[in-house]
Chains A and B, each alone.
Chain A
Amino acid sequence: MASSSRDTTGDLFVRKATGLVRSWSVFDAFVYAAFSINLVTLGLYIFSQMYFLEGGLLPTLLISSAFILFEVLVYAALIAVMPRSGGDYVWQSRILGGGIGFVLAITGWWFILWLWVPLYSDMFRHLFLTPIFGLLGAKDLALWFGQNPLGLFLTSLVVCGFVAFYIAIGMKWYARIQKYCFWLGLAGLAIFFGLLLFGSPEAFQMSLNQEMPGLFGTAENVYTATMAAGQEAGAAAPMVGGGLGAILMAMPFMVFFNLWPNWGTALYGEIRGATDFKRNFSGMAWALIITTALGVVFFFLVQKTFTWDFYMNANAAWWNYAWGYTDQVPPLPIWPNPILLASMMLPGRFLKILVVLLISFWWFGWSGTVFLSSTRIIFAAAFDRLLPEKVAEVDEKTHTPVVALLLMVVPSIIVSALFAWNVFSFQSLTLNSTLVIAVTYLGTTIAAIILPYRKPELYNASPIAKYKVFGIPLITVGGVIFAAFLIFLLYAWLIDPLQLYGIGLANTSSIIFLLVMYGLAAAIYFGFKFYRKRSGINIDQVYQEIPIE
């Protein structure tokens, strides 16, 4: 029977009541955050595209990560003050207003994920399909998947199906799959690093020249030919150095990889105290710090065994071709997948396949994130009557939100086709995927900055109220620093004074794409607000606080 009281610390007496749980595991929180800033998928993909920049990749990684620690602080603090709220959408809606919250959340957590689908697919084909088919002896199929627009489009369809499966099985099973994928992926990463650690430039060069002709039909001495092609393509990025200005201007690329430690945030459960704030902060911060450290280790190991010059030249040669600056297929006719390249030093095909397979679990465990976040925001908007009720319905038989899924999948397929065949220069929009979410984060960060002043009672009764810097709330200080970082990124992307990112005002496709997205979000908001008003529903009341006497 229930009448007993428990947990008698002397500072707090707690009854036995529903929902009172112990703290979650920081390690688990770390695992999910580490998946979000995914070195193998996001990291390797964007490092390879940074070949033409002049800022050193290593200091760029370190400095950007230092700024992103403030993002971790902002999000951990918001969760401590407003747990169980559902994240950016509700935080912004409650602090900044429903319209801003809707437009920024719907673009950052739904619409832009349409663009992430072909990006996830591009990573999938380069990390898994092309290497695996090549290693299995299906050279032509491997090259077709790696080079052909239809190959990318078909991969996008496979990815949509795969991720829809994750939605159908639900969070219970996805959380388990992610955990297994983490350990398997970690094993793959350890072998990969081991290969680079114990390999030598000579052994790598020899094995590359020996294996690649058989696997992908390259000419003899692909190593030297790749070096030459990379030079011609403009490979420039150093590992270190490059000057502070160049390093700062490389950050808008780097954040494609590391801006996301908050995606693994545990949003559930009642925050019971400052310890929970620290646990949330620790889970995300350690994921950021350790992934950054692994990135640094990767750079040094690449330099040691591939040599930095070869790595960047191979990247330059590939992307110069993939982005259509030349019709000439590079000597290495596939994306220079560092795992595949390192596996060349292994004897026999089985071990090579094993390494590629193991490391691909970083993609398999991570890929569900592309639609899961979107379905959540679609549901939240429907509950707020800003979308039809139908979109939040879950099919009884399949346990799948069919309409919400269609709202993700159908536009994603269209965007994937535009991306695959580079219609309207869609392949130049890669960094828009990051820009739009950064805008959403900026909204949340502004909400965090003003939270202690807009909602003083809520803030003062929270576990972080006592954290101050020179008398200013820590959440405000952290927010100002992170907001400055985001504003710098947005300036760099949009104004693009050095024409580095290709998504700024000079790129008409990019600007139209952004305007369409934000315009569509605003149109949905105002359209539904008008429609609901005619039906007798006042949308403004959704987040209006009830006055009390």
Chain B
Amino acid sequence: MTTIFFATDIHGSHVCWKKFIHSGKFYNADVIVLGGDITGKAIVPIIHLGGDSYRAVLLEQETLLDGEDAVQDMEKRIQSRGYYPYRTTPDEINELKAQPEKLDALFSAEVRKTLEQWLAYADEKLADSGIRCLVTLGNDDAFDLDDLVRTSKHVHLADGECIPLDDHHEMISSGWSNQTPWHTYREATEEQLQQRYASLVAQIKNPRQSIFNFHVPPFNSSLDQAPEMTADLRPRFAGNSLVPVGSTAVRAAIEEAQPLLGLFGHIHESKGTARIGRTLCINPGSMYEQGALCGAVINLGRNKIKTHMLTTG
């Protein structure tokens, strides 16, 4: 029997990454899988005011920081929300505001720096653990991160591969999503996704015993319910109106191949499980900004899923 722990969409949260790395030991999992979107969404400047004084605004709350300890404490708080703390000066802030390409470069550098730290942490903690760590990059993750993940000894980039988990089960992975209003990195039309999935499915020996680890959930599966948006990206009806935003290509791939298990993410609010035919589909959701790692523990039997459980760890 193989035990998988699956989590997704940790969006820059140091706490969630560390929890993910420790999840194998905690849940007695043989394989830990991260389903994509590891990149944070924002940089919070910690602005040097002169001397030992700094100023930071986290979640619209301004804090004046006095001394290195206070700054480090603020950096931890910022990181716990999944944001990148960045020590800077008022002059540099003005430069970043005026020159978007500099800001892009800064984002890229911060994302890479964080990921390097994460991979080093993983390599240290997973060494000799016997736990396999498979990571997919999601639609919010830039393409240059693929090579960075590949430098790790113990974190394996699963995207685009068919990976045997044990003698009976293989897993295919894709971090791409259907098109979103935010025009992120790994987005494609449903037709393109269909081709992408078809080439992955073709690599599996026994599709009915396989696992599909696709970032975007299947359309209209109840795992893809997101607040309906206005054209200017405001939640309609105060977020009370929910609409399915998943991928029809993912749904078609599952309906056709009927794998044992489908692992999804992307829609943080839509935590749950659902069945499409015989396939158990799971979206563990995400509460990364709370430092809570939403996940799923799945015990694979030879021809079936023996047990599964959603967790908030």
Chain A residues packing against B (C-beta within 8 Å): 1-5, 8, 10-25, 28-29, 31-32, 81-86, 90, 93-94, 170-172, 174-176, 178-179, 264, 266-275, 283, 379, 382-385, 389, 392-394, 399, 457-458, 460-463, 465-466, 532, 535-539, 541-549
Contact, CB under 8 Å: B229 / A536: no
B198 / chain A contacts, CB cutoff of 8 Å:
none
A399 / chain B contacts, CB cutoff of 8 Å:
220
Contact, CB under 8 Å: A28 / B240: yes
Looking across the interface, which residue of chain A has its beta carbon closest to that of B285? Answer: A84
Contact, CB under 8 Å: B100 / A266: no
Contact, CB under 8 Å: A547 / B22: yes
Looking across the interface, which residue of chain B has its beta carbon closest to that of A463? Answer: B59
- Sampled A-B contacts (20; CB under 8 Å): A8-B100, A11-B60, A12-B44, A13-B107, A15-B39, A17-B140, A21-B234, A25-B234, A32-B238, A171-B242, A175-B240, A179-B237, A385-B310, A461-B77, A461-B81, A463-B59, A532-B309, A546-B26, A548-B15, A549-B125
The CA of A170 and the CA of B94, in the complex, are separated in Å by: 47
B108 / chain A contacts, CB cutoff of 8 Å:
3
Q: A8-B96, A269-B235 are in contact. Are A18 and B273 (CB under 8 A)?
A: no
The CA of A507 and the CA of B108, in the complex, are separated in Å by: 67
B63 / chain A contacts, CB cutoff of 8 Å:
466
Closest 6 CB pairs of A and B: A273-B60, A28-B238, A463-B59, A11-B57, A175-B241, A175-B237
Contact, CB under 8 Å: B268 / A84: yes
Contact, CB under 8 Å: B235 / A21: yes
Contact, CB under 8 Å: B238 / A25: yes
B272 / chain A contacts, CB cutoff of 8 Å:
379, 383, 392
Q: A11-B57, A171-B241, A172-B242 are in contact. Are A21 and B311 (CB under 8 A)?
A: no
Q: Taking the complex as formed, is B30 at the interface, i.e. its CB lies under 8 A from any CB of chain A?
A: no
Interface flags, B51-65, vs A, CB<8A=1, else 0: 000000111111100
Contact, CB under 8 Å: B271 / A12: no
Looking across the interface, which residue of chain A has its beta carbon closest to that of B310? Answer: A383
Contact, CB under 8 Å: A12 / B42: yes
Q: A11-B57, A544-B313 are in contact. Are A283 and B273 (CB under 8 A)?
A: no
Contact, CB under 8 Å: B42 / A2: no
The CA of A399 and the CA of B306, in the complex, are separated in Å by: 27
Q: Taking the complex as formed, is B136 at the interface, i.e. its CB lies under 8 A from any CB of chain A?
A: no
Looking across the interface, which residue of chain B has its beta carbon closest to that of A389? Answer: B273
The CA of A113 and the CA of B97, in the complex, are separated in Å by: 53
B233 / chain A contacts, CB cutoff of 8 Å:
20-22
Contact, CB under 8 Å: A15 / B227: no
Main secondary structure of the interface of A (DSSP, over half): loop
A12 / chain B contacts, CB cutoff of 8 Å:
42-45, 57
Looking across the interface, which residue of chain B has its beta carbon closest to that of A16? Answer: B182
Partner of B293, one of A16, A458, A546: A546
The CA of A84 and the CA of B228, in the complex, are separated in Å by: 15
Interface flags, B103-141, vs A, CB<8A=1, else 0: 110111000000000000000010000000000000110
Contact, CB under 8 Å: B93 / A10: yes
Q: A11-B57, A458-B290, A461-B77 are in contact. Are A5 and B237 (CB under 8 A)?
A: no
**Measured between C-beta atoms, what is the minimum distance from B236 to chain A in Å?**
7
A466 / chain B contacts, CB cutoff of 8 Å:
61, 63
Q: Taking the complex as formed, is B209 at the interface, i.e. its CB lies under 8 A from any CB of chain A?
A: no
Partner of A547, one of B26, B140, B142, B269: B26
Q: Taking the complex as formed, is B156 at the interface, i.e. its CB lies under 8 A from any CB of chain A?
A: no
Contact, CB under 8 Å: A175 / B236: yes
Q: A10-B45, A10-B93, A392-B273 are in contact. Are A82 and B266 (CB under 8 A)?
A: no
The CA of A385 and the CA of B272, in the complex, are separated in Å by: 11
Contact, CB under 8 Å: A15 / B19: no
Contact, CB under 8 Å: A18 / B237: no
Looking across the interface, which residue of chain A has its beta carbon closest to that of B83? Answer: A12
Looking across the interface, which residue of chain B has its beta carbon closest to that of A384? Answer: B310
Contact, CB under 8 Å: B43 / A457: no
Interface flags, B21-33, vs A, CB<8A=1, else 0: 0110011000000
Interface flags, B75-109, vs A, CB<8A=1, else 0: 00110110000000000011011001001101110
